[in-house]
């Protein structure tokens, strides 16, 4: 998976939204395989029209707890959105996750005005789930 900075740079080079949608789909295809045994309700993200699964693990590195995620969806474009969200949040501390401005990210890419309301709601549901996980780690 490319880093978020690389994804943002690539978006800047794409002129029309058809190419940007194709790129989002490519991001989804580049994600590591998601284990079938993790496609269960415990990992399902509520609020998404398509099926979306997010699996959180917490690792300890240099005295910091990092939240790492695996994810998947049954829809190509949504799987790409999962990849985008994971590139923004996976491997970050809970505090970094809570401080990250996702609205600014989506505005910079132009996602807000190019997604259906259902996909926008699903994207928000993914972000909310990850931010809720971060709050749990911090005990707030």
CATH at residue 37:
3.90.1010.10
Handedness of CA 76, 80, 85, 91 (dihedral sign): positive
Q: What is the pLDDT of residue 114?
A: 79
Instruction: Give the range of the structural domain holding residue 32, as residue numbers without chain letter.
Output: 4-138
Phi/psi of residue 59, nearest 5 degrees: -115, 160
Q: What is the pLDDT of residue 79?
A: 96
Distance CA 123, CA 43 (A): 15
Distance CA 104, CA 101 (A): 5
* pLDDT tens figures, 111-131: 777 787 788 888 999 999 999
Distance CA 133, CA 81 (A): 19
What's the domain count of the chain? 1
48 is catalytic: yes
List the Cα angle 9/11/17 in 5-degree steps: 170
Which of 25, 48, 88, 126 is an active site residue?
A: 48
* pLDDT tens figures, 18-74: 999 999 999 999 999 999 999 999 999 998 789 999 999 999 988 899 999 999 999
Task: Examine the pLDDT at 1 and tell me if it is beyond 90.
Answer: no
Residue whose C-alpha is closest to residue 73's, from 117, 114, 121, 122: 122
């Amino acid at each position: 998976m490319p880093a978020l900075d690389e994804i943002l740079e690539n978006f800047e080079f794409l002129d029309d939204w058809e190419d940007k949608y194709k790129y989002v789909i490519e991001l989804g295809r580049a994600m590591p395989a998601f284990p079938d045994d993790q496609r269960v309700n415990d990992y399902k993200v509520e609020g998404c029209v398509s099926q979306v699964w997010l699996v959180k693990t917490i690792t300890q590195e240099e005295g910091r707890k990092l939240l790492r995620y695996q994810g998947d969806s049954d829809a190509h474009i949504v799987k790409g959105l999962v990849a985008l969200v994971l590139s923004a949040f996976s491997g970050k501390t809970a505090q970094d996750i809570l401080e990250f401005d996702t609205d600014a990210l989506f505005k910079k890419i132009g996602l807000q005005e190019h997604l259906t309301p259902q996909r926008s709601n699903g994207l928000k549901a993914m972000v909310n789930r990850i931010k809720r996980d971060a709050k749990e780690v911090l005990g707030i």
